[in-house]
Structure 1
């Protein structure tokens, strides 16, 4: 059975694409439907699907960043990017020879893409160098330039504190809230991790697990274990942080 993962942060568009896929490719099994990059990456690493349809603009990891990590986590998965119309983006995809669909996705175009995927069979994911070039070229469109947060407001007991992001070691999800860890201790932030991730500087803060975002400036070393997971040793915290296997590809070159 052929499986696929569909990642799109807008519920209606995701449901529409799934319905179109079931019509264009009846034997295809939808293994997972995801609304953000982190859950998409974890689903792909777990299910090892034949195909992944990735929106290029999602909360947290972009579709291109997910595809880059997929090259390690699930190398046989073929990737099809889904994007709103943008001539510059279309030219970039054409230049990189990667598959893409334009929103709103037409049934004819989807059926054409399905035939290409079937004809290609089981081949490797897009080349990492191609994805790096795409990410660099499309960065302003995939992740528009906005001033990242400089500080957050968090609580410790009855006290409210302003915490500079440069003092944060990592953020950890705690149900509906987020725990902020610094060298001095922990505080509680009422913003969910998913919302927080969008406002952080992606060059400094990296998601290493569905529930953890780390400040790279707080990392002393990265160690890969035999299971493919990683351990981050922090500069000013005694504990180590586990990098789940799907996210290890994001640390290449460090």
Structure 2
């Protein structure tokens, strides 16, 4: 019988070593095949080693654990291995813990707490046992179930706030202040004219039918300010105005692409958000 495998992504080396040592006690059969300190390295190592469990620190320098998970959901080679079980590593916070518990999200606290880790290990062991071996005709259903679980987890842990945190939702934006391409002029762009937003380096591109603008607000901070009935996230780096969608195309590999009105480019839809267009 092959040993279950795991990857640990944690930027604090002592905490990473402590987690590995605690896992060795709680789950001796687990083989930690890689330990990395940032999200970018986590993506590279995970795609190379295809572990069955990912322990991702939510906050890491550069690409954080949430972005790494979103990228892996879209790039994971499902023909080689099923999506791994996902566990978030987080510093203790009463609101975060309450939110994770409400969403049934697997998490590990740092510094590592033995009893909490044992509960997570028990759930992981049960999940791995339940999914293997799976009948061939259930493969698609299993993939969709895992993707749905990842969506819930990313939603619970992301977007700059956690469910359970006291917050008031702002009214949806009507106008957005954005710079033109040269950066010399700020335009007040009606939100209804925006066809899509795309994260790019330190900026977010704001695309209308005929113009491009730039804003510095990160996409995860912008999302809560948009009307969720109109603007849908379709990729980790793209939010689209649904009123601008002309057609949804599926390529030979089964991936979805959006054709917008008045724009030539097509927008890729990631696996995490493909369910939004299933009935179309």
TM-score, L = length of structure 2: 0.59
1:235 aligns with 2:245: no
User: What is the distance in 1 between the residues matched to 2:149 and 2:201?
Assistant: 34
- Whether the 8 Å contact between 1:3 and 1:29 is mirrored in structure 2 is yes
- Given candidates 173, 184, 190, the residue that maps to 1:164 is 190
Please list every run of 5 or more consecutive structure 1 residues that lacks an aligned counterpart in the other structure: none
| CA displacement, residues 136-177 of structure 1 (integer Å, 9 cap, x when unaligned) | xx7853795421433221122443211122211112233322
| Aligned-residue RMSD, C-alpha | 4.9
Per-residue deviation, 1:247:
4.5
1:155 aligns with 2:155: no
Kindly tell me: are residues 223 and 160 of structure 1, through their superposed partners in 2, closer, same or farther at Cα, counting changes over 3 Å? same
Per-residue deviation, 1:19:
3.8
- Whether the 8 Å contact between 2:178 and 2:186 is mirrored in structure 1 is yes
User: What is the match of residue 50 of structure 1?
Assistant: 52
Kindly tell me: are residues 224 and 114 of structure 1, through their superposed partners in 2, closer, same or farther at Cα, counting changes over 3 Å? same
Per-residue deviation, 1:51:
1.6
1:221 aligns with 2:215: no
RCO (CA 8 Å, sep 6+): is it higher in 1 or 2?
A: 1
Q: Which has the larger radius of gyration?
A: 2
Name the structure with the higher strand share. Answer: 1
1:4 aligns with 2:4: no
Please list every run of 5 or more consecutive structure 2 residues that lacks an aligned counterpart in the other structure: 25-30, 132-141, 157-161
User: What is the distance in 1 between the residues matched to 2:146 and 2:176?
Assistant: 35
User: What is the match of residue 180 of structure 1?
Assistant: 206
User: What is the distance in 1 between the residues matched to 2:166 and 2:268?
Assistant: 26
Kindly tell me: are residues 150 and 227 of structure 1, through their superposed partners in 2, closer, same or farther at Cα, counting changes over 3 Å? same
TM-score, L = length of structure 1: 0.64
- Given candidates 51, 62, 85, the residue that maps to 2:94 is 85
Kindly tell me: are residues 230 and 22 of structure 1, through their superposed partners in 2, closer, same or farther at Cα, counting changes over 3 Å? same
